[in-house]
Structure 1
Amino acid sequence: MSIDPSSIPNFGGSPANQPPAGPPGGGVVRPDQDLVKQLLEQMELKYVVDEEGDLAAPWEDFRTYFMFRGEGDQQVFAVRTFYDRPYPIDDKGKLLEIVDGWNRQTLWPKVYTHTHDDGSVRLIGEAQMLLGLGVGLEHFVSSTVSWVRACIEFDRYVADQLGLEKSAEEGEGPEADADGE
């Protein structure tokens, strides 16, 4: 199973970062971690495999995981992003307003708050796809690429909503060395 580079959608990114056009791909596939690795490589994104065996693309301020859960026709593919910026519990009301605004305006990722035992609040974004007996390759590729780009956009959205200064290059790609650090 191979991903046709022309099936990776362009949502306004730099033309230099887009894969070359090729013949249209398609067909029903049972996605797996190797397919996601191939897609991330074609997107020129660094990734690591964590201790639990999940695939992760680390950026400077967040980590995006690509996980397969369940078995057979109940298998789910989830893209889950953990945003690293901690917020004090007193800011949770403002964060909920921001998250609610995002969730009303966008399809994915759906974002929620998580309060840690130490009282800090962090944000988590998530999108899921039921794989059932298989999915169209183009649908899988375009959904995954869209979810990754939306996770990056959410980080920018929060920074903008909170008035946090972000450089133009932050969030553009995973930041990891060979060891995933």
Structure 2
Amino acid sequence: MTAPRTPGWLSRVLGERSPEPAPQRRVPLQARPTPLTRDRVASSLSSRGYHYRVDEDGDLTGVWNDSRFWFLLLGEQREILQVRGRWHRQLPVDSRRAVTLALNDWNRERIWPKLYLREEEGQLAVYSEVSTDLEHGVTDEQLDQLVSCGLGTGVQSFASFDSLLPPSV
């Protein structure tokens, strides 16, 4: 039978000798965060069997459920990963008020993705964004999760809008 243990703070007050601290566990090298790079994002996409290409700006891009997505590295040190999607449908400019209300509802009720409108060539385009500051690096597992989150929530948001709006809008 072991003696009851005195809480650590009480042991210090009473001047009792505390047991030896447990040895610190070293984090395996592969689990340590490393800098974000375009090659690492490409590797994450490839490991999932996703098809993508490098566009004229040097950004990774591909199409999921008919909508274009980009995997952008932003910031002074290219430390911010942004997964940006553009919905495959365009909307008439005169529907701006109704679409803005729908986007506001989405953004108010969900954490990801942020949705917004842009006017392009006389039509409205809906965009999704998930951005993460990775200044201190990212593990492969974390990067896979962020890519999955950006794509998954973007595709879900666009599917939601597809179901809300009639095909003729």
Give the equivalent residue in structure 1 for 2:36: 31
Q: How far is the alpha carbon of 1:60 from its aligned partner?
A: 5.2
Q: Residues 9-158 of structure 1: matches in 2 within 5 Å?
A: 26-59=31-64, 61-72=66-77, 75-116=79-120, 118-158=121-161
Q: How far is the alpha carbon of 1:70 from its aligned partner?
A: 2.5
**Does the residue aligned with 2:128 lie in a helix, a strand or coil?**
strand
TM-score under structure 2 normalisation? 0.74
Kept after mapping to 1: 8 A contact 2:44/2:143: no
Which of the pair has more CA radius of gyration? Answer: 2
1:95 and 1:85 map into 2 onto residues whose CA distance is 13
Return the letter of the residue paired with 2:140.
Answer: L
Q: Taking every aligned residue pair, what percent have the same amino acid on both sides?
A: 25
Which consecutive unaligned segments of at least 5 residues does structure 1 have?
1-24, 166-181
Matched length: 139
Instruction: Give the structure with the higher percent strand.
Output: 2
1:50 and 1:78 map into 2 onto residues whose CA distance is 16
Q: How far is the alpha carbon of 1:50 from its aligned partner?
A: 0.2
* Moved beyond 4 Å, runs of 4+: none
| C-alpha distance after superposition, 1:23-80 (max 9, x if no partner) | xx622121211111111112221101000100001235311100112233x7211111
Q: How far is the alpha carbon of 1:156 from its aligned partner?
A: 0.6
1:96 and 1:149 map into 2 onto residues whose CA distance is 22
**Does the residue aligned with 1:135 lie in a helix, a strand or coil?**
coil
Kept after mapping to 2: 8 A contact 1:77/1:128: yes
Stretch deviating more after TM superposition (92-101 or 57-66): 57-66
Which consecutive unaligned segments of at least 5 residues does structure 2 have?
1-29
**Does the residue aligned with 2:83 lie in a helix, a strand or coil?**
strand
2:101 and 2:48 map into 1 onto residues whose CA distance is 32
Return the letter of the residue paired with 1:133.
Answer: H
Return the letter of the residue paired with 2:98.
Answer: K
| C-alpha distance after superposition, 1:141-176 (max 9, x if no partner) | 2122111111111111001111449xxxxxxxxxxx
1:36 and 1:91 map into 2 onto residues whose CA distance is 36
Cα-Cα RMSD: 2.0
